[in-house]
Structure 1
Amino acid sequence: MYTRLTLFGIFVIFISSELTHAQSFKQENPLAHTYSIVARDPVTGDMAVGVQSHWFSVGTVVSWGEAGLGVIATQSFVNKSFGIRGLALLKEGKTPQEALEILLSTDAGKAVRQVSILDKHGQIATHTGDLCIKFAGHIIGKDFSVQANMMLNDQVWPKMAQAYEAADSLPLAERVLQAMKGAQAAGGDIRGQQSASILVIKGVSENKPWDERLIDLRVDDSKDPLAELERLLKVYRAYEHMNNGDLAVEKNDMPLASLEYQKAEEMFPDNLEMKYWHAITLLNNGDIQTASDMLLAVFKKDENWRKLTARLPASGILQLSEKDLNYILNLK
C-alpha cells in the first residue's frame, strides 16, 4: 500500500508541476489513452496511422503524417507537438530513432508518453513510458508498429499485430482497420469506444500537398466507431470507382466508365447521386434510353434531381438538344 500511495503522490506532483493546473492539462496534453498503428505498404510506399480511443475526436490529436517523410502517432498523456516537431526532424534527415530521442530529451513528461514514428523507408522507433497506465506496451514488426495504453488486458497490442500481419492481401487502409478490429476483439480500451480514424498518405511527395492525403477518415463520436469507420471506408472506395469512371469518360472509354460506375452503384445501390451522375454521363454520350430509365428511378425518389438536371446545360455539364432535354425533364 505504501508503494502505491508513494507512486500516486509522485504522479500527482509530476502532473501539477509540469502542467500547472487541470484546465491547461486538458487543453495542451489531452488524455488520448488509446491503441494505434503506424504502417507502411512495402509495395506502394504509402504510409498510414490508424487509431481508436474512448476520447472525443482522437484522430485530430494522435495522427500526423507528411507525404515523402513519414507518419507519427502520439498518445497516452499526449504531447501534440511531437507530431509537427517529429516530422520536421525527419525532414532534416534524422532517422525515427534519432527524432524520438530528441523529442524525449526535452520532455519532462516522457514517462507518461507513448509515441511511434515511421519513416518512408520503413524505419520505426516507438516509446512507451514507464508510467503509462497499464496495460500498456508496443510491438514493432516489419513496416509497422502497434502501441496501446490503458487497455483492458495485455493481449490487445499482440492481437492487433497478428490481425495486421494476417491481412496482408488487403489494401493498406483496410489492413489498418483489420488491426484495429483485432485490438477491439481482444478487449480494447478499458473505458470502451468513442472515436477512431484512418490517415493514409503517399510514400513519395510530388510537392502537391493538396493531393497527398489519400485517405483521411474520422469518426469523432460514436458508440461503435470502428463499424462507422468501416462504412466510411467502403463509401470512399465506391467514390473511387466513380472517379475512375469519370476518368474513363475523359478518355472516351465508355465500356470502362460503365463498368466503374456499375461497381460503385453495386456497393451502394440506394445512393441516388451515383446513379444520377452515371446517367448524366450516358446522356452526354448519346445513350438516351438507358439514361432515361435510370433518371426516372431517381426522379421518382427525389424531384430535386429533375430540377438540377434543368440547370446543368447552362454550366456546360449536360450537352443535349432542346428536344432531348425536354424529353428527360418530362419523364413520368
Structure 2
Amino acid sequence: MTFSIVARSADGQALGVAVASKFLGVGAAVPAALADVGAVATQSYANLAYRPQALALLGTGVAATETVSALIAGDAGPVDHRQVGVVGPDGLGATFTGKACHDWAGGRSGDGYAIQGNMLAGEAVVADMEEAWLAGDADRPLPYRLLEALRAGDRAGGDRRGRQSAALLVVSKGRGYGGTSDVWADLRIDDHTDPVAELGRLLEMHSLYFESPDPETLLPLTGALADEVAERLTQAGQVGPDLDESLASWAGIENLEMRIVAGKIDPLVLAQLRSTTTAAG
C-alpha cells in the first residue's frame, strides 16, 4: 500500500526518503534518516522499531545489506508481511519484501539507493522509479531527485488503491534552518487527493523560504534598482535608517530572511517584493 525510495546524494553528503501511499499520514510512520549515518523506510505492516534499529546499526558501520538482514532476523512479528529499504553513507542500498506482502510487491536497489513498494499497480512503479533515479542529474539537490523518482512511481500507477499521503525527509550536516540542524527538508502531505503533486509545491516553497540564495544570481543594490527597492519598501511600510535594514525587516515579515545578503538582493526576493507591493498598490 506504499511506494518509497531511500537514497544518498552523489557526493554522499545527503541522505533521504520519499514516500507515497493510500494511507493517512504516511510521513509519520515510514521514513527516518540521520545525517552521515543513513536512511530507512519501513512499510507494509510497518515495524516502526526498524527506524531506530536500522540507524543504530548503520551508525556502528554495519552495511545496508547486513542491516536489513539483522532487522528481519530480530523481528518477532509478521516478517513475511514486512517491507523495508535502507541506505547508508556509502555502498549499496538494500531492500526486503516479505513473501506475503500484497501484490504487486517488490523492490530494486543499487549503489546508494533502494526502491520498494507493495499493493502497487504493477512492477512498473518501482521500475520507473529506478529509471528516473538513475537518469536524474546527479548534481541536482537530493530533495528534488527523490521527488522526481516518486513522481515517476505515481505516474506509473502508484498504490493501486489510490492516493492519500506523501512525505519527503532529507538530512545533511548543517543544512537545516539557519545551519542549526541537519534536517534539510521534512515535508508531509497527510491527506490529499494528489499528494505527490502537493509535495512538489511545498518543496518549491521550502526552497524559497529556507534555502540560501545562489551567490551567482545576486543583484547589486545600486542605482535604479536600489531606488526601486527603496520605493517599494516604503510602500510596504518599511522605512529604516538604510536600505539593507529596511529590506531585512521586510524579509523577516515575509519569511525570506534566509535569502538576505547585505548590499545585494536575490532575484527571488525582488520578485516577491514586486508582487507584494504591486498587489497592495
TM band (smaller chain): 0.7 to 0.9
Q: Give the superposition deviation at 1:317.
A: 5.0
1:68 aligns with 2:26: no
2:207 and 2:246 map into 1 onto residues whose CA distance is 26
| Alignment-derived partner of residue 219 in structure 2 | 258
| Residues 18-97 of structure 1 mapped to structure 2, 5 A cutoff | 33-97=1-65
Q: Deviations over 1:54-75 (max 9, x none)?
A: 1111112100000110000000
Q: Is the 8 A contact 2:2 2:159 kept in 1?
A: yes
Q: Is the 8 A contact 1:44 1:203 kept in 2?
A: no
2:188 and 2:50 map into 1 onto residues whose CA distance is 20
| Alignment-derived partner of residue 134 in structure 1 | 103
Q: Is the 8 A contact 2:88 2:112 kept in 1?
A: no
Q: 1:110 to 1:230 in 2, by over 3 A?
A: same
Q: Deviations over 1:171-214 (max 9, x none)?
A: 32211111111111111101111111111112799xx9942111
1:99 aligns with 2:67: yes
| Alignment-derived partner of residue 154 in structure 1 | 123
Q: Deviations over 1:33-88 (max 9, x none)?
A: 20000111122431111000111111121000001100000001100010011111
Q: Give the superposition deviation at 1:163.
A: 1.5
Q: Give the superposition deviation at 1:97.
A: 2.2
Q: Deviations over 1:243-278 (max 9, x none)?
A: 338xx7xxxxxx96437xxxxxxxxxxxxxxxxxxx
Q: Give the superposition deviation at 1:110.
A: 0.9
Structure whose residues are more often helix by fraction:
1
> How many matched pairs?
244
SS in 1 for 2:58: helix
Q: Is the 8 A contact 1:90 1:96 kept in 2?
A: yes
For residue 291 of structure 1, the aligned residue among 229, 233, 240 is: 229
For residue 163 of structure 1, the aligned residue among 132, 155, 160 is: 132
Amino acid at match of 2:93: I
Q: Is the 8 A contact 1:40 1:122 kept in 2?
A: no
Q: Which segments of 5 or more consecutive residues in structure 2 lack a partner in the other structure?
A: 248-280
Q: Percent identity?
A: 33
For residue 219 of structure 1, the aligned residue among 189, 208, 232 is: 189
Q: Deviations over 1:197-246 (max 9, x none)?
A: 111112799xx9942111112111111111111111112222356x338x
SS in 1 for 2:219: helix
Q: 1:104 to 1:193 in 2, by over 3 A?
A: same
Q: 1:44 to 1:92 in 2, by over 3 A?
A: closer
Q: 1:256 to 1:97 in 2, by over 3 A?
A: closer
Q: 1:101 to 1:210 in 2, by over 3 A?
A: farther
Q: Is the 8 A contact 1:40 1:143 kept in 2?
A: yes
Q: Give the superposition deviation at 1:164.
A: 1.4
Q: 1:203 to 1:130 in 2, by over 3 A?
A: farther
1:179 and 1:194 map into 2 onto residues whose CA distance is 18
Q: 1:293 to 1:193 in 2, by over 3 A?
A: same
Amino acid at match of 2:204: K
Q: Which segments of 5 or more consecutive residues in structure 1 lack a partner in the other structure?
A: 1-32, 249-254, 260-281, 300-304, 320-331
Q: Deviations over 1:138-184 (max 9, x none)?
A: 01123211100011222211111112112235332211111111111
Max Rg structure: 1
Q: 1:152 to 1:256 in 2, by over 3 A?
A: closer
TM-score by length of 1: 0.65
| Alignment-derived partner of residue 8 in structure 1 | none
Q: Is the 8 A contact 1:47 1:203 kept in 2?
A: no
TM-score by length of 2: 0.76
Worse-matched range after superposition: 179-188 or 99-108: 99-108
Q: 1:154 to 1:86 in 2, by over 3 A?
A: same
Q: Is the 8 A contact 1:120 1:203 kept in 2?
A: no
Q: Is the 8 A contact 1:76 1:113 kept in 2?
A: yes
* RMSD of equivalent CA atoms: 3.2
SS in 2 for 1:161: helix
1:77 and 1:209 map into 2 onto residues whose CA distance is 36
| Alignment-derived partner of residue 179 in structure 1 | 149
